[in-house]
Amino acid sequence: MVDSGEDTDSARVPTTVRGAGGLVAVEGAVAVIVAVVLVVRGLLGHDQTQTSGYGTAAWFGILGGAVLAAGVGLLLGHRWGRAIATIAQLLLLPVAWSLLTDSHQPVLGALLGVAAICALVLLFAPKSNLWMAQEYGADPE
């Protein structure tokens, strides 16, 4: 087999970026699953409140799909996923706080908070920052 001498981008993706991508992909997948559950509940007639579960399902599906795509993008070594992942984690921190306090669901709040903080730490780790800077011509050494 002939080697072209070019390294693929995915071979140089730091483990910190891949770890963050995994966490973000799981968060996005959970949101998409919630969307599917809300649609099924609506179709089965379980959602008899005045507010529609379909709108909430659309919200979870659209945003969860974007977060899932960002996580998969990071796993595959695409730099565009970092911006979406970072914004999502920053938006999830107040949600985690709300689950811890007002919603009285400390287990879910703690899990979400730990996941969001871990993803942010991985996204801004020195190796992750160097990897991002390479796109703009920074020397990795």
Distance CA 67, CA 138 (A): 27
14-48 per-position pLDDT tens digit: 999 999 999 999 999 999 999 999 988 888 887 66
Read off the pTM. Answer: 0.84
Give the domain ranges of the chain: 15-130
Handedness of CA 41, 93, 118, 107 (dihedral sign): negative
CA distances from 67 to 6, 127, 141 (A): 30, 22, 31
CA distances from 69 to 17, 27, 61, 104, 140 (A): 14, 11, 12, 31, 27
Distance CA 17, CA 87 (A): 15
Structure tokens at 110: 């703690």
Q: By the 8 A CB rule, do 37 and 102 touch?
A: no
For residue 4, the model assigns a pLDDT of: 42
Residue with structure tokens 């730091």? 14
Low-confidence residues in the chain, pLDDT < 70 = 1-11, 47-51, 138-141
